[in-house]
Amino acid sequence: MHTEILSRMSLFEGCDPEALYQLLREAPNSLRTYKEGEFIARQGDVCRSLFILIKGHVRTQMENAEGKQLTIDWIKAPDILAPAFIYASENRFPVNVEATELCEVLVMDRARFEEFMHAQPAVMRNFIATISDRSLFLSRKLNEFALQSLKSRLLNYLKMHGGIHNQQEVAFILGVARPSLARALSELIAEGKVTMSGKQVILHSAD
């Protein structure tokens, strides 16, 4: 069953199905289950294994010393968790990884996976592409937070998601306090760029 799930991932595209089956059967693997609200990894934990989300949905967040949190991404199975840090010189999780529903995670020995990539060049290329795509995503995220105003970030969020149903959750995602988000929303409403229907915020059709 796990072979079928993994074969749908871009990471294993072009991989020999029999070799993938052997990897799952022979490698030091473990399958872990996490309930909603449990942490799969904590920011700063050493990342010594390949973590593959087989089932479920997770949220990744950065947290500073004062407890302020910033949502970085939402990841849906099947996908690999923190691929850019598995073989890093400082291989620690850069974020908290929290299950937002019942999740299953396949944990695989990184040394065995490295051997597998050498034997399956297509997987090596896919892994490099995955790391490159994540780096691109993070660079865009950094640009968004470093160079754009809160109102611009909020408009981008609305363009991507169509609206806001939970302001507290969006405040987490944008890395701001709820009152700051409310002020930015009020300004956008005054400018006619968004409308509010009940508690739901909707991007104005003209935009």
The DSSP-derived string for 94-117 is SSEEEESS-EEEEEEEHHHHHHHH
Work out the mean pLDDT of the chain and round it to a whole number: 85
Burial letters for 31-63: b for 16+ Cβ neighbours within 10 Å, e otherwise? eeebeeeeebbebeeebebbbbbbbbbbbbbee
Distance CA 131, CA 118 (A): 17
Which amino acid, residue 198? G
Q: Quick one: how far is CA 35 from the chain centroid? A: 18
In sequence order, what are the residues at sequence separation of 6 or more whose Cβ sits closer than 8 angstroms to the Cβ of residue 181? 150, 154, 167, 170, 171, 174
Q: Write down the residue that tokens 């089932």 correspond to.
A: 55
According to the model, what pLDDT value does residue 153 have?
80
According to the model, what pLDDT value does residue 1 have?
58
pLDDT tens track for 69-122: 778 888 999 999 988 888 888 888 888 999 999 999 999 999 999 999 999 999
**Which position has the higher pLDDT, 207 or 125?**
125
Q: Write down the residue that tokens 């399958």 correspond to.
A: 31
The answer to whether residues 104 and 56 touch, using CB atoms and an 8 Å cutoff, is yes
Global pTM reads 0.71
According to the model, what pLDDT value does residue 207 have?
40
According to the model, what pLDDT value does residue 81 have?
92
According to the model, what pLDDT value does residue 146 have?
63
Segment 122-142 shows an average pLDDT of 88
**Which position has the higher pLDDT, 143 or 154?**
154
pLDDT tens track for 26-81: 877 889 999 999 999 999 999 889 999 999 999 998 887 777 777 888 899 999 99
